[in-house]
Amino acid sequence: MENTQYHLHLKGFVGGYDFDRDYVDYVLARNEGKPVHVLIDSLGGSLATALSIASAFKRHGDVSVHFVGMNASAATIASLGAKHISIDASAMYLVHKCSAEFFEWGNLNADQLATVRDNCEAAIRDLNKLDNNVASMYSAKCSKPQSDLLDLMREGGWLTAKEAKEWGFVDEITDLDEAKPVLTDAVASAMAAAGMPIPNVPTESKETLFARFLASIASLFKPSHTEEKEQIVNNQNQSAQMNQSFSLVGKVLNVEGFAVGENGITLTCEQMQQIERALAERDKRNAELAEQLDAVKKSPADTSTAVVNEAKRDTPQPLSEVESYANAFNNAKQLYEQLP
């Protein structure tokens, strides 16, 4: 596990550009019939995306998932189709009941309130179905009664790696140090806004609990879902533009694209060496072509007798490779010089 090369890194919002079901399908298709290793580090997101990814893992049949950091909600559901699930010893795991947005504002009469009540009852029925469906998936993985899983989802508490294994959510605990969970103010605010319990893990700053409470209150005034979706689309477009701009570099490194972070793109020493070798090979080829062209220019001209004899021939003699290259080079040069 320590030297595992991951084919997929699924992080952030489930359903966002960095936890996308289409990209998961693409990578799995490219590795059909081969083992696929997936790293997950996410606080959750879209249930629809999670169910789709879980199904894709199951259809592939040979997917291994490894959890690092803090994982909750849809991120845990997405892993349920994997053949093997492991978790870092310092990582954490959370399951909870499904939720839906609800907001009603205004002065309502009796009929309007009855409509709101009916809508709420319909939403409750739908959420109960979703909860039962998710609980059955957890139950199949954990080999425990579905009612026990529903109780755990209702409680919604964070589980340590050991507790997650005892429940049966994961198959193995590792001692990797790649992503120990650290609770930042932004993460704490997001969890508070989503109604998630705050875990007792090391914090990145020394702010008081009261300061975190104020931050969580401020996070309630977050952008609308439309703005969030626009931001996701912008990030996807930016990532696609970056990948397209560096398509030649991708060919040299034999990769399909680059992960664009806040500070740009990071290359390994081995990748830099590959680029260096490619540039050196290009300079070598250019030097060889220049030597061939110089040799053509310095070669002695034919005698007048040879020229006359050549003119008398019925069919022209084919040019050598060097002569053909020289003619093509000179024609191209003349055409370039004529351009404005």
Last residue of a domain, one of 223, 256, 284: 223
**Is pLDDT at 336 greater than 70 in this prediction?**
no
Instruction: Name the pTM for this structure.
Output: 0.53
Structural domain tally of the chain?
A: 2
Q: Work out the average pLDDT over 145-164.
A: 95
38 and 181 in one domain? Answer: yes
Q: Of 169, 202, 223, which residue is a domain's last?
A: 223
State the pairing for strand pair 158-160/92-94.
Answer: antiparallel
Of 223, 253, 284, the residue at which a domain comes to its end is: 223
Q: Check residue 293 and give its pLDDT.
A: 72
Mark whether 276 and 202 lie in a shared domain.
Answer: no
Q: Are residues 213 and 292 in the same domain?
A: no
Q: Distances in Å between the alpha carbon of 84 and those of 89, 221, 289? A: 16, 40, 55
Domain hosting 12: range is 8-98+131-223
Tell me, what CATH number does 175's domain have? 3.90.226.10
Higher pLDDT, 210 or 111: 111
Better-scored residue on pLDDT, 30 or 336? 30
Which of 16, 68, 1 is closest to 228 using CA atoms?
16
Res 125 pLDDT > 70:
yes
**Residue scoring higher pLDDT (171 or 270):** 171
The verdict on 281 and 198 lying in the same domain is no
Q: In terms of domains, do 141 and 217 share one?
A: yes
Same domain, 197 and 277: no
103 burial type by CB count under 10 A (0-12 exposed, 13-18 middle, 19+ buried): exposed
pLDDT digits (tens, 9 = 90+) for 62-86: 999 999 999 999 999 999 999 999 9
> Is pLDDT larger for residue 33 or for residue 236?
33
The reply to whether 213 falls in a domain is yes
- pLDDT score recorded for residue 242: 47
β-partners of residue 159 are 93
Q: What pLDDT does residue 315 have?
A: 52
Q: Read off φ and ψ for residue 207, nearest 5 degrees.
A: -65, 155
The answer to whether residue 107 is domain-embedded is no
- Same domain, yes or no: 274 and 190: no
204-221 pLDDT per residue, tens: 554 555 555 555 555 555
Residue 175 domain-assigned? yes
Closest of 188, 184, 176 to residue 217, by C-alpha: 188
Confidence at residue 239, expressed as pLDDT on a 0 to 100 scale? 47
**Both 161 and 22 in a single domain?**
yes
Residue 2 has a pLDDT of 55
Average pLDDT of the residues in 323-337: 67
